[in-house]
């Protein structure tokens, strides 16, 4: 299984991934080391059945998102303040290049999955789905 903190896989982009995750889900700023491990494990499990090429593309895309702001702001994504990070990701989300929009949509989906699949996040938002259906919530 791919580990985001394994130097052979996502290690070089871990800080960039976390900066992107915190910008996508601002509440992630308060995650401790264990919660980050949970988020990353969930993302890894979501990617486990995907080909290695997809994981390589994700690493490359995270690197690209970290470097692209250099052309506009003169600094990497990780070193931007929160408002510039948000402005940059909004521009990527609405970019005329379809591949950028799709890549961001996929990354955002993975971050949401990793963040909101954790029990603490489900509890915080009051998520109470039950496999027995709505009747079990009474």
User: What mean pLDDT is predicted for residues 33-44?
Assistant: 93
**pLDDT surpassing 80 at residue 96:** yes
137 pLDDT higher than 80? no
pLDDT at position 65 over 70: yes
Whether the predicted pLDDT of 7 surpasses 50: no
Query: pTM of this prediction?
Result: 0.86
Give the pLDDT score at 16.
96
Q: Taking residues 98-103, report their average pLDDT.
A: 96
Q: What is the pLDDT of residue 138?
A: 65
Is the pLDDT confidence value at 47 over 70?
yes
* CB-CB contact of 21 with 14 (8 Å): no
Query: How far is 109 from 119, CA to CA, in rounded Å?
Result: 18
């Amino acid at each position: 299984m791919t580990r985001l903190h394994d130097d052979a896989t996502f290690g070089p982009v871990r800080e960039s991934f976390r900066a992107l995750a915190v910008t996508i889900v601002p509440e992630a700023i308060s995650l401790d080391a264990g919660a980050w491990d949970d988020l990353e494990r969930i993302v890894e499990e979501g990617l486990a059945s995907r080909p290695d090429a997809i994981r390589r593309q994700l690493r490359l895309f995270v690197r690209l998102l970290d470097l692209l702001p250099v052309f506009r702001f003169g600094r990497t994504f990780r070193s931007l303040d929160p408002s510039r990070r948000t402005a940059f990701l909004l521009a990527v989300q609405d970019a005329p290049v379809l591949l950028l929009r799709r890549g961001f949509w996929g990354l955002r989906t993975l971050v949401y999955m990793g963040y909101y699949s954790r029990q603490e996040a489900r509890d915080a938002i009051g998520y109470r789905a039950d496999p027995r259906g709505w009747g079990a919530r009474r």
